[in-house]
Chain A
Amino acid sequence: MSQALAAPSSQQIAGQLLQQPPTVQSINTNYDVLALFSDDIALANLPVVDDGRPVGIINRNTFMSQLARPFHREIFGRRACTAFMNAAPLTVDYHLPLTELSYQVLSAGEAVLSDGFLITRDGEYAGLGQGIQLVQALADQQAEKHRQMMESIHYASVIQQSFLQSSRREMAAALTDYSMIWQPRDIVGGDYYYFVRRPHGFFVAVIDCTGHGVPGAFMTLIMASALKQVLTSHDLTNPAELLGAINRQVKESLGQLAEHEQDDEDFELRSDDGMDCAFCWFDTDARTLTYAGAKTPLFLLRPEDEEIGSIDGNKKGVGYVGTPLDYTWDNQTIALPAGSRVYITTDGIIDQIGGAKRIAFGKKRFKAALLSRRDAPMAEQQRELLARFADWQNEHSRRDDVSLFAVHLP
């Protein structure tokens, strides 16, 4: 039943704005009205009601300025008060939802804001509502909805961060000089990282799921569970194979197959979500890094390098409709002498709009920031990068989630 779906307690209605000022009848005179307005200086609008039937509203300012005109008091004083009445005020039912009321007020025009509107119950006059109170109620309602939503997102953030805790602990135990920046644009986000150590090395994944905010966060959970599952059956020293396995799993679980790969009719309803990421295995004994990337490059600074180099991965993202089910990624193995630094970042830093020309931060500025502190501890180097990044972004809004894993290998 549809009633079961409604949430009556949270539904705000016109009746909540109900006020019951004194009323007059249409046979009352303008002198009667003048007396009421003079007695109560706060009385702004006076409803006219005949035997429970709403007739109109007399607005103080309109009334007073009419009566102030030459001879009007003498001519109209003893006449019926309907002379200066708004005879067609907005009249709404007690149970009308506030949002609906606000649209009616808007289409009724400016007069409603000054004159207010009549509220009826079963067609009978119940009271008066004022424009200013409607605005107040809408503002309160908005603030309350926002508060509820933010509370819910803040709690989601607690869940998302607890998901990252084991990786944080593993990083702290395995690495001596490193930095991990993880800044969701909207409290929760679509960036995710995973780190685990083994006796002869460590595995790290930096992942940018489609979207940000709540949908992005949903995707990180899907990807985290896919990653966890493939790690039980695949070798983490072979990152390319892990990407292929996750691709198959995600495409099948989200139904993200290309048209010829499935016979489903609901083509329009299907999602097209996935992840761009870099997966790396570092072999401590051999001092080699095996990298497989899905639209996520690896940045490198070896002690003998003059510039920060980059290695591109494959150009297909993982899980998307446009990535074939049997797509294979490539491993690239790089020798890393002691003192080498490795950086993996999602596109949030490099693509951020800023600067005087409102253009992307870009790889050049990213590399220059790191190079400017090439021998500094990772934490200090990251501070420099973030300071330059913040300068660049300046008053522009953050466009995407930002993540950066950086390690200095001893």
Chain B
Amino acid sequence: MQNVYLAATSATPEVDFRFDSHRMSLKGESYPENAQAFYGPLLDAVGSYLAACRGTTIQIDVQLAYFNSSSTKLLMSLFEQFNQAALAGNHVLVNWFHDEEDDTILEFGEEIAEDYPALELLTQALV
């Protein structure tokens, strides 16, 4: 499984998916004009990666300051995939980073934890 690295742009986050070490990271902002075009290939890559995971411990670090509504839907699809993988016996740890004053991002993380209970989601305040 090929690792994926995409440098951040003003409208897309840095993507660092190290499938070989089971660590993924998303960092930055997400409001591309065509969110499907940006996230579609990532969802596919994650799908193939997860299909081969058995009892694996996977860590995902998310540090997003802004994402628009179409990115939100695709991020949800991503967490949905990880949630399925967690239900299938993998251990998925999500570190959800947010600025200590950023309630909007914090609340979003809490919502993901609520919607995808199989994920072990930890909200982490950045001071």
Contacts and interface: CB of A to CB of B under 8 A. Distances in A.
B127 to A, nearest CB: 11
B73 A272 contact: yes
A351 B70 contact: no
Contacts of A399: 29, 31, 66, 68
Interface residues on B, range: 10 to 19
B102 A362 contact: yes
B105 interface: yes
Nearest to A360: B104
Contacts of B102: 357, 359-360, 362
B69 A358 contact: no
B42 interface: no
Interface residues of A, number: 24
Contacts of A350: 104
B65 A353 contact: yes
Nearest to A268: B40
A358 B27 CA distance: 13
A39 to B, nearest CB: 52
Interface string B38-77: 0000000000000000000000000001101110010010
A322 interface: yes
A127 interface: no
Given A272-B36, A360-B102, A360-B104, A353 B29 contact: yes
Given A351-B104, A353-B29, A399-B31, A360 B65 contact: yes
B104 A400 contact: no
Interface string B91-127: 0000000010111110000010000000000000000
A320 B77 CA distance: 13
A20 to B, nearest CB: 44
A78 interface: no
A317 B72 CA distance: 12
A190 to B, nearest CB: 9
Contacts of B68: 212, 351, 399-400
A351 B99 contact: no
A208 interface: yes
A69 interface: no
Nearest to B67: A351
Contacts of A317: 69
Interface string A301-335: 00000000000000101001010000000000000
A200 to B, nearest CB: 35
A212 B35 CA distance: 12
Given A272-B36, A272-B73, A399-B31, A351 B103 contact: no
Contacts of A359: 65, 99, 101-102, 104-105
Contact of A357 (B29, B101, B111): B101
Contacts of A362: 101-104
27 contacts: A210-B69, A211-B70, A272-B36, A272-B73, A315-B111, A320-B73, A322-B73, A322-B76, A351-B104, A353-B66, A357-B99, A357-B101, A357-B102, A359-B99, A359-B101, A359-B102, A359-B105, A360-B65, A360-B103, A362-B102, A362-B103, A363-B103, A364-B103, A399-B29, A399-B31, A400-B31, A400-B68
Given A211-B70, A399-B68, 4 more contacts: A357-B101, A359-B65, A360-B103, A399-B29
Top 4 A-B pairs, shortest CB-CB distance = A360-B104, A359-B102, A359-B99, A353-B66
